[in-house]
Amino acid sequence: MNFLVVNCGSSSLKYQIIDMASGDALMSGKIERLGEGRTHRDAVREVLEKAASVEIAGVGHRVVHGGDSFHDAVLIDDDVVAAIERCIPLAPLHNPANLAGITAARAQLPGVPHVAVFDTAFHVRMPRRSRTYAIDAEVAARHGIRRYGFHGTSHAYVSDRAAAFLGRPLDELRLITCHLGNGASVCAVEYGHSTDTSMGMTPLEGLVMGTRAGDVDAGVVLLLARELGIDAAEQLLNKQSGLAGLSGLGNDLRDIEAAADDGNDHARLAISVFAHRVRKYIGAYAATMGGVDAVVLTGGIGENSRTLRRRILQRLEFLGIVLDEDRNADAKPTLAEPVAAVTTETSRVPALVVATNEELQIARHVQATIDGARQVEAKRPIPIAISARHLHLDRKTMDALFGAGSELTEYKPISQPGQFAAEQKVNLIGPRSRIDGVRVLGPLRPAVQVEVSRTDEFRLGVDAPIRDSGKVKGSAPITLEGPKGTVHMEEGLICARRHIHMTPDDAKHFGLKDKDEVEVAVTGGPRDLVFGDVLVRVKDSYRLEMHIDTDEANAAELSRGAAGDLVYEPAPSGVQGALRGKRAK
């Protein structure tokens, strides 16, 4: 399955098409100079023309500001579009561009789900103490003035990668993740959740960035507004500050580093202010979290500039971080090998360089949101039928047990259409003991199949394999006794494998196919239980129903009328999971 990921800015559209099976980008690119006679609609058309040969199953849209409204990625509908519009005052530069991309892509790819993934969502549960600005509370509430945080997609992604690299669960780690690109932010990821981050109500707060000032005294903003006017002050703080403003050399760190090497003092100051600010936040977040287990550097600068990494990480031994100069010089994370440690083997707190992959993370959100929506829609409880021991007969054995030419007569219909419990019963005789009066199910089948529980097997003194219905070859022997005769079967006794019957419509609903395996949870009773290895069987003539035997039902304390639900994976870093235990045969 391939997802198109769209990151729409005011003057450019970046895109990737990601193959979810491998996580690789099949195509990627950037369409620039939007606004100069070229619309977002033109850009989307261009992308779709280039991607004509690829089937796109869904689209993920990066949306910068989700305000208070969005705690997670969402399927886009008209209400979601309206809610993103309402967040425009909070992100006047970004949200309109994101919306232009959404509108254009929904118009041109109407048949697939579109998912909005918000930069702010990862930070939505930041505690009050870190999200609150100490200004008049009533004014703040009226204007939605609080800290929201951004770059959530990247902070979440690199946190997952770091935890995997360290071989520890994310919910046991206190991480400080530093996304250092053109935009830059630090995040305190405490046991899997963002508890503080350096960007605030807008992406202007915090670190020194390519062209943004980051933290300045609010008095400076007032002075600039007074002296230059609001628009010019906004322009200065957003576009003419940061590394570019300090160095006078533009926002590309490579140029600034080269100039610094040549002795340019403006360039040196720019680098030193940048590094100082990052160190300051690392120290602050180690303090707010009461410790730190690893520091992560990512983004164009974090992944590439060994000089800045050294400036940021040196002399942090008091925190347990001991930089390894060689490792730092060699670290070059790639998408294929995305994590490299730059601290010594004995450093108590490792510092890791991680290649971020926001597009992949957005694509995962698309997958999870589609699965989640399917799950909600599919919250179709699965009725559970408890099969008591029973057997199916073939023509020949029917003749031997009940007399030549005898027919099964219906006692009562059973839930699967066309099948019935017959009036006829058979006695099972095993080496240890016998079980009398076992019901025959009709109609006749091509082969005899006797289905018993494990408890029955003990009674009979036989050891039957767990088998899918119909697979009796090599199963256990059993003797059948009827009113007109006795038949010894060399095979035919099985312990039926638990399974779900479903129609093709059910299967589509759940996103399953014949022979898949799933997990089914039974909850709400005194002995909640998750059944694994449940086989899915799809046929037009079936009715949705899970079949288990009496032992299994007793283990879950089930009675008639019980139902179960398919189990989905727990969420890695806010991403909702896919069907758990799902295996395709």
State the catalytic residues. Answer: 119
484 binds ligand ADP (CB under 6 A): no
Residue with Cβ nearer ligand ADP (268 or 543): 268
Residue with Cβ nearer ligand ADP (185 or 576): 185
Sort 479 into a burial class: Cβ within 10 Å, 0-12 / 13-18 / 19+: middle
- Please give the size of the binding site for ligand ADP, defined by CB under 6 A: 13
Instruction: Give me the amino acid identity at 386.
Output: I
- Greatest CA span in the chain, whole angstroms? 108
Residue with Cβ nearer ligand ADP (323 or 440): 323
Smallest distance, ligand ADP to C-beta of residue 258, A: 10
Smallest distance, ligand ADP to C-beta of residue 130, A: 23
Smallest distance, ligand ADP to C-beta of residue 195, A: 23
Residue with Cβ nearer ligand ADP (153 or 387): 153
CB 298 within 8 A of CB 154: yes
Given its phi and psi angles, is residue 60 left (phi above 0), alpha (psi -120 to 50 degrees) or beta? Answer: beta
Smallest distance, ligand ADP to C-beta of residue 306, A: 8
β-pairing, 58-63 with 13-19?
Answer: unpaired
Q: How far apart are CA 77 and CA 89, in angstroms?
A: 21
Given its phi and psi angles, is residue 560 left (phi above 0), alpha (psi -120 to 50 degrees) or beta? Answer: beta
Residue with Cβ nearer ligand ADP (254 or 471): 254
HSE-up (13 A, CA, CB side) for residue 99: 20
DSSP bridge partners of 481 = 427, 486
488 binds ligand ADP (CB under 6 A): no
Smallest distance, ligand ADP to C-beta of residue 372, A: 28
Smallest distance, ligand ADP to C-beta of residue 305, A: 4
What is the DSSP secondary structure assignment for residue 320, as one 8-state letter? T
Interacting stretch for ligand ADP, rule CB under 6 A, among 33-41, 102-110, 247-255, 553-561? Answer: 247-255
Reduced to 3 states (helix: H, G, I; strand: E, B; else coil), residue 534 is strand
Map 145-161 to HEC letters: CCCCCCCHHHHHHHHHH
238 binds ligand ADP (CB under 6 A): no
Instruction: Give me the amino acid identity at 88.
Output: I
Residue with Cβ nearer ligand ADP (156 or 562): 156
Interacting stretch for ligand ADP, rule CB under 6 A, among 196-204, 252-260, 371-379, 530-538? Answer: 252-260
Q: How far apart are CA 54 and CA 56, in angstroms?
A: 6
Among 254, 395, 527, 539, binds ligand ADP (CB under 6 A): 254
DSSP bridge partners of 301 = none
* Site map (CB under 6 A) of ligand ADP, residues 136-155, x = contact: --------------------
Among 253, 384, 386, 460, binds ligand ADP (CB under 6 A): 253
For residue 181, give every residue at least 6 positions away whose Cβ sits within 8 Å of its Cβ, in sequence order, or none: 210, 299, 300, 301, 302
Residue with Cβ nearer ligand ADP (42 or 252): 252
HSE-up (13 A, CA, CB side) for residue 581: 15
H-type helices in 55-205, by residue range? 78-86, 95-108, 128-131, 137-143, 152-166
Smallest distance, ligand ADP to C-beta of residue 308, A: 7
Residue with Cβ nearer ligand ADP (240 or 288): 240
Interacting stretch for ligand ADP, rule CB under 6 A, among 97-105, 245-253, 367-375, 396-404? Answer: 245-253
Among 66, 203, 242, 299, binds ligand ADP (CB under 6 A): 299
For residue 40, give every residue at least 6 positions away whose Cβ sits within 8 Å of its Cβ, in sequence order, or none: 8, 13, 34, 97, 100, 101, 103, 104
Residue with Cβ nearer ligand ADP (247 or 375): 247
29 binds ligand ADP (CB under 6 A): no
Smallest distance, ligand ADP to C-beta of residue 238, A: 14
DSSP code string of 205-235: SSS--SS---S--HHHHHHHHHHH-HHHHHH
271 binds ligand ADP (CB under 6 A): no
Q: How far apart are CA 175 and CA 185, in angstroms?
A: 14
Smallest distance, ligand ADP to C-beta of residue 585, A: 42
Smallest distance, ligand ADP to C-beta of residue 243, A: 7
What is the DSSP secondary structure assignment for residue 266, as one 8-state letter? H
Cβ-closest position to ligand ADP: 300
Reduced to 3 states (helix: H, G, I; strand: E, B; else coil), residue 286 is helix
φ and ψ at residue 253, rounded to 5 degrees: -60, -30
Among 283, 300, 383, 477, binds ligand ADP (CB under 6 A): 300
Interacting stretch for ligand ADP, rule CB under 6 A, among 127-135, 214-222, 246-254, 261-269? Answer: 246-254
465 binds ligand ADP (CB under 6 A): no
Site for ligand ADP in 178-217 (CB under 6 A): 181-183, 210
What is the DSSP secondary structure assignment for residue 465, as one 8-state letter? P
β-pairing, 499-502 with 545-549?
Answer: antiparallel
Among 31, 115, 289, 301, binds ligand ADP (CB under 6 A): 301
Residue with Cβ nearer ligand ADP (305 or 387): 305
| 511 closest CA partner among 367, 371, 368 | 371
Among 197, 305, 343, 449, binds ligand ADP (CB under 6 A): 305
| Contact set with ligand ADP (CB under 6 A) | 181-183, 210, 251-254, 299-301, 304-305
